[in-house]
């Protein structure tokens, strides 16, 4: 059981290798403007086996009556008693440069009191963007990826059957206009803003094209001027830039998750000269009861005597001195020698940070 406490140390050991590896610009930055756009709509899922919304979901009943009225079937709202229909919110993401006729997935979420969307079919549902324009239309069978079954005595459920997906069920009806191909420059937006990384990206681009095309604007963006030979062929320019490799710079940081006892430390974490002492005090209290039961047909009484056992054990406290500028490898070896658990590691790092000896950001999530 004690070995599982050092799983975190195995995770930390991943960062032992001090060698920096180059990565593609494509993996740490994206072209400004080339992003996804969120879509949303309201629809109905039909064909459910008695697991749809109840009559208490008035908005579903009104929606069903309105839909039937548009199809030439006039019904009264109070006469509708169906439980195989569910009102849902339909969401999707419009990819950058999406074209009319393309297909995307639609995510279906129940908003009423439906129990299960399994086996249902999403009816014709327009989904709109933030500007209120319809960009896609969704329809098709709903795949939930889960199930729910049971009876009067119990129920079993896997995943969330009130959420489903219509794979490729939304057809793009309108393109998002963009002036991407009319620009005289493009901007690279870093996923993790950093001045050093932005400067290295600009250097890599300039070195590749033998010209001062790239200029770092700030820690989050790098502007690249479009050379005359790539005018009208920006796709090739973007392809060449995305394939360039740089070594990103990472700030020294220690991430602590107190809920799970997880600790992640980067390879650049350094600790000043500090002494660490660690000792454990364990107190175990066990209570039991000795029962004296009289023989049958006697006038004796049952006597209960409590028995309390108290055991106190204090671990050996050892003091370890860590020299200034030690690496993460040295930190882990020293703490491992102390026999600390992940919970102890959290307390130790918080104390080192409070002492001003931890040369890294301590982030608790």
Q: Which helix (H) or strand (E) holds 245?
A: strand 245-246
pLDDT, the chain, mean:
78
pLDDT band of 122, cuts 50, 70, 90: very high
What mean pLDDT comes out for the span 72-80? 76
User: Per the structure block, which two tokens stand in for 233?
Assistant: 């062929």
What mean pLDDT comes out for the span 179-205? 87
Residue that has been written with the tokens 């009816």 in this structure: 123
Q: 127-133, long-range: CB within 8 Å, 24+ apart, which pairs? A: 127/39, 127/40, 127/41, 127/90, 127/91, 127/92, 127/170, 128/39, 128/40, 128/41, 129/37, 129/38, 129/39, 129/94, 129/176, 130/37, 130/38, 133/174
pLDDT single digits (tens) 203-239: 999 999 998 999 999 989 999 999 888 887 888 888 9
Domain ranges of the chain: 2-16+252-281+315-364, 23-33+179-246, 37-172, 284-311
210 versus 257: the higher-pLDDT residue is 210
pLDDT at 141: 93
Question: What pTM did the predictor assign?
Answer: 0.64
Query: 145 near 152, Cβ under 8 Å?
Result: no
Q: Is the pLDDT of residue 16 over 50?
A: no
pLDDT band of 281, cuts 50, 70, 90: very low
């Amino acid at each position: 059981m004690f070995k599982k406490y050092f799983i975190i140390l195995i995770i930390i050991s991943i960062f032992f290798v001090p060698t920096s590896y180059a990565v593609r610009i494509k993996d740490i930055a994206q072209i400004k403007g080339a992003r996804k756009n969120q879509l949303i709509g309201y629809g109905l899922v039909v064909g459910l086996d008695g697991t749809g919304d109840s009559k208490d979901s008035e908005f579903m009943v009104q929606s069903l009556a309105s839909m039937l009225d548009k199809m030439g079937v006039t019904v009264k709202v109070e006469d509708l008693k169906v439980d195989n229909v569910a009102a849902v919110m339909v969401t999707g993401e419009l990819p950058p440069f999406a074209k009319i006729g393309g297909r995307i997935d639609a995510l279906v979420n129940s908003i009423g009191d439906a129990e299960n969307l399994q086996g249902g079919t999403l009816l014709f549902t327009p989904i709109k963007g933030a500007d209120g324009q319809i960009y896609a239309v969704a329809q098709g069978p709903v795949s939930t990826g889960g199930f729910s079954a049971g009876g009067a005595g119990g129920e079993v459920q896997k995943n969330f059957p009130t959420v489903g997906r219509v794979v490729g069920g939304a057809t793009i009806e309108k393109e998002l206009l963009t002036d991407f191909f009319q620009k005289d420059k493009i901007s690279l937006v870093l996923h993790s803003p950093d001045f050093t990384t932005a400067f290295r990206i600009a250097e890599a681009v300039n070195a590749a094209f033998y010209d001062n095309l790239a200029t770092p604007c700030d820690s989050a963006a790098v502007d690249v001027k479009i050379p005359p030979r790539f005018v009208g062929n920006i796709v090739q320019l973007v392809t060449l830039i995305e394939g360039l490799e740089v070594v990103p710079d990472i700030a020294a940081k220690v991430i602590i998750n107190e809920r799970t006892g997880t600790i992640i430390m980067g390879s650049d974490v350094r600790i000043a000269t500090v002494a660490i002492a660690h000792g454990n005090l364990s107190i175990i209290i066990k209570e039991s009861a000795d029962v004296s039961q009289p023989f049958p047909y006697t006038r004796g009484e049952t006597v209960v005597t409590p028995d309390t056992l108290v055991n106190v054990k204090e671990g050996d406290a050892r003091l370890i001195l860590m020299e200034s500028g030690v690496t993460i490898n040295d930190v882990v070896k020293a703490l491992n020698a102390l026999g600390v658990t992940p919970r102890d590691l959290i307390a130790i790092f918080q104390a080192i940070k409070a002492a001003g000896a931890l040369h890294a950001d301590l982030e608790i999530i």
